[in-house]
Amino acid sequence: MSVRHKMLSWAATAAAVASLAAVAPAGAQDAVKIGLILPMTGGQASTGKQIENAIKLYMQQKGDTVAGKKIEIILKDDGAVPDKTKTAAQELIVNDKVNFIAGFGVTPAALAAAPLATQAKIPEVVMAAGTSIITERSPYIVRTSFTLAQSANIIGDWAAKNGIKKVATLTSDYAPGNDALNFFKERFTAGGGEIVEEVKVPLQNPDFAPFLQRMKDAKPDALYVFVPAGQGGNFMKQYAERGLDKAGIKVIGPGDVTDDDLLNNMGDAVLGTVTAHLYSAAHPSPMNKDFVAAYKKAYGTRPGFMAVSGYDGIHLIYEALKKTGGDTNGDKLIEAMKGMKWESPRGPISIDPETRDIVQNIYIRKVEKVDGELYNVEFATFDAVKDSGKTKK
């Protein structure tokens, strides 16, 4: 390369950089900023990772411009600690001037950010946390994940109607666990079922053995289980070790215990477990097949229900912006989100205009082996299930 040539190419590069720099500030004015607060470290990190993956995937598929505006994601890790969530939300709102806050791995985190969303009048899109009260804490909260009432009610109904008379319950002793227990109990006993044993295990429980032994001695027809994501594997292993599967005691529950994220490593003892949940990677729709294939290709694992909640969360934000024509006024965005309906990889879903919570199908699934891998195979559908946790007030 001659010197002259080299100089020319330098000049060209410099010009290109200069023109980029000239464009950039104009572009920044037109950007829509989304503050994403997720647990990327700590015990809930798999939730954060799935949601982040799904959002990246969505933006690769649909582009990063909506209604003429560039979408910019600012990710903050709160480690599922509510104090950190609050600080992160404050920084995002005050310093970064975000137009949305989104994510929230656990209920206390979502609640910690609620007053800030109200003050700043910007939408808080909850993509994971699952207790009923969340959307009642701010008129700016919209949820695309689920509530525990949705799945716990349905599995209670299903169990009572399908020959399960006596159930022993094992739930983690914290807000979502208690939600899962109470909503199940309500429907199951109303349907004529009997709870023969009720054990709440501490959240930081190392060994399930004594609790499981107690369950085994109570000789129930089935075991109703809710433990936070991550402990499901531990639980199922010890369930098998103690021979509860051989004693004919099946596991039922909301789908957290057989999350797609963990299911494949649980071993064959998990076969036959019946759960009610919003999403299975085996959901037989063409849209889901594409979604699972794309997710697997990008990240090497299958998506779980947290991934699909994140995917729908970013979709909701995109569609709301389309509806307002790129206007980022919080009230207009919330108005646009209310009542929105769309087809998700999990099936048809909508946002309840009154509660801003998600309305979705809940599927009854059984763990089966498909092509040598364990999957939650759906066999019954309850259409358009609303959150029943709120109507009682």
Partner 1 sequence: MTSILTNLFDGVAYGMLLFVLACGLAVTLGLMNFVNLAHGAFAMAGGYVCMLLVNKSGWPFFTALPLAFVSAALIGVLLERTLYRHLYTRSHLDQVLFSIGLTFMSVAAVDYFMGSSRVFINLPNALQGQFDFFGVGIGRYRLMIIVICGLLTVALQLILAKTRFGSRLRAAVDDPRAASGLGINVPQVFAFTFAFGCGLAGLGGALSAEILGLDPYFPLKFMIYFLIVVTVGGSSSITGPFLASLLLGIGDVAGKYYVPKMGPFVIYTMMIVILIWRPNGLFGRTAAR
Residues found near partner 1 in the complex (CB under 8 A): 41-43, 45-46, 199-202, 204-207, 209-211, 213-214, 217, 230-231, 233-234, 237-238, 240-243, 261-262, 265
Phi, psi of 293 (to 5 degrees): -65, -45
What's at 214, amino acid-wise? R
**For residues 72 and 64, what is the distance between their CA atoms, to the nearest angstrom?**
8
Nearer to partner 1, 185 or 386 (CB): 185
Query: How many angstroms separate the CA atoms of 61 and 236, rounded?
Result: 36
Residue 249 beta carbon to partner 1: minimum distance, rounded to whole angstroms? 14
Nearest-approach distance from CB 183 to partner 1, in angstroms: 21
Query: How far is 226 from 240, CA to CA, in rounded Å?
Result: 17
Closer by beta carbon to partner 1, 45 or else 294: 45
Cβ proximity to partner 1, 121 vs 214, nearer residue: 214
Which tokens is 381 given?
């559908």
Q: Which residues contact 161 (CB under 8 A, 6 or more apart)?
A: 191
Cβ atoms of 236 and 251 within 8 Å: the answer is yes
The nearest distance, CB 50 to partner 1, in angstroms, is 11
H/E element holding 208? none
Separation of alpha carbons 78 and 333, rounded Å = 25
Closest CB to partner 1 among 227 and 252? Answer: 227
Q: Using an 8 Å Cβ cutoff, are 50 and 303 in contact?
A: yes
Q: Which is nearer to partner 1, 169 or 376 (CB)?
A: 169
Q: Nearer Cβ to partner 1, position 84 or 237?
A: 237
Closest approach of partner 1 to the CB of residue 204, in Å:
6
CB of 70 to partner 1, least distance (A): 31
Residue 50's Cβ-side half-sphere holds a number of Cα atoms within 13 Å equal to 27
Q: How far is the CB of 104 from partner 1 (least distance, A)?
A: 18
Q: Which is nearer to partner 1, 95 or 204 (CB)?
A: 204
Cβ at position 98, least distance to partner 1 in Å: 26
Annotate 227-256 with DSSP letters as a single string: --TTTHHHHHHHHHHTTTTTTT-EEEEEGG
